[in-house]
Amino acid sequence: MEPINKALNRVINMPSFQERYEKMRREILENEQVQKFLEENDTLVNKDMVERGLTTLHEYITQNPSCCGCDNTDYCTNNLNGFVPKLSIIRNSIEIEYYKCEQKLIEEERRESAKMISSMYMPKDVLRARVKDLLDNDSQMDVAELASRFIKKVKETGKLPSKGLYIYGPFGVGKSFVLGAIANELASSKIRSVIVFVPEFLSEMKQAISDNTLQDKVDFVKKAPVLMLDDLGAETLSTWTRDEILGTILHYRMAEELPTFITSNFDYDGLENHLANSQKGGVEVVKAARIMERIKATTTPIQMEGSNRRI
């Protein structure tokens, strides 16, 4: 029986194998990312190290070195779902280290937030939203411009502006989509946004009294780097939810100069009228004005028009 090492040598020395090997070797070494890595490490890398690292380099070029752009890491095309490869030199060898991609970081952030606030939500279309998508719709151009300015300022300065947006308009024009687009852009800069659907959130706060989690939940929301209140004005308000929940959250954010994004069917005046009318039928103008003062201090109003996307 022929020894295994002799059989392997015979296969390796076959012309067809050598041709395929040389072709693969050229593809690896001509890869733009590989060339960049070798140039950046030219004082550390030698020919022997490259030859020994060909298998590693091949593993690297068959993957996406940045986030592949899937909407869910379950569909990630890389070897490790939700991780991107990075070439490194470790103990005189070329190795691959894996790091969490943008999408995985976004998903982990959402899971952590959802553990605290169950009224957080993210519809499927919003999961894919990006600010550039808003530019394709004429009715969203103005809000897209303001959103782009906000994102640009964050990326240029590394700091959050003190004001978010108050986006108002009729049902179904895409206000929630705008919130998702901004949140996703911020997530790519590792900035956490907490999005809550206001009617469900206020109901959840009432239930939180019985399980002693109210203060933890309020603190989590009010201290979020970026808070997004979706559909404010659609809820049935009690004086408690208005003054002790909304009032407390908005007062904190105004005092700490934390940006807040709000969507509503009402403009400022309409929302103030809504806030003034309590569940029991009373009209409390002063308390509504106090809430509105905090909203105006933390947002810039922008109207959104267009056709109903839900029909």
pLDDT at 53: 87
Domains of the chain: 31-100 (no CATH), 104-303 (3.40.50.300)
- Helix (H/G/I), strand (E/B), else coil: 81: coil
How many C-alpha atoms does 183 have within 13 Å on its Cβ side?
Answer: 34
216's tokens: 């933890």
Residues 116-129 have pLDDT tens digits of 444 455 566 666 67
Short-list 227, 232, 138, 127, CA closest to 181? 127
Stretch 44-73: mean pLDDT: 85
Whether 262 and 166 have beta carbons less than 8 Å apart is answered as yes
pLDDT at 184: 82
Residues 255-307 have pLDDT tens digits of 999 999 999 999 999 999 999 987 666 788 999 999 999 999 999 999 988 76
Share of residues in the chain with pLDDT > 70 (%)? 84
pLDDT at 86: 93
> Exposed/middle/buried for 209, CB within 10 Å: 0-12, 13-18, 19+?
exposed
Residue 106 has pLDDT above 90, yes or no: no
Residue 7 has pLDDT above 60, yes or no: no
What whole-number distance in Å separates Cα of residue 182 and Cα of residue 229? 13
How far are the Cα atoms of 15, 22, 63, 165, 179 from residue 19, in angstroms, in the given order?
6, 5, 24, 61, 54
User: What are 100's strand-pairing partners?
Assistant: 83
Please state, as a whole number, how many other Cβ atoms lie within 10 Å of the Cβ of residue 60. 22
User: What are 83's strand-pairing partners?
Assistant: 100
Residues 22-45 have pLDDT tens digits of 888 888 888 999 899 899 998 888
Q: Between 166 and 111, where is the model more confident? A: 166
What whole-number distance in Å separates Cα of residue 242 and Cα of residue 237? 6
Whether 291 and 246 have beta carbons less than 8 Å apart is answered as yes
Name the pTM for this structure: 0.67
Residue 11 has pLDDT above 80, yes or no: no
pLDDT at 119: 47
What whole-number distance in Å separates Cα of residue 37 and Cα of residue 50? 11
Whether 56 and 50 have beta carbons less than 8 Å apart is answered as no
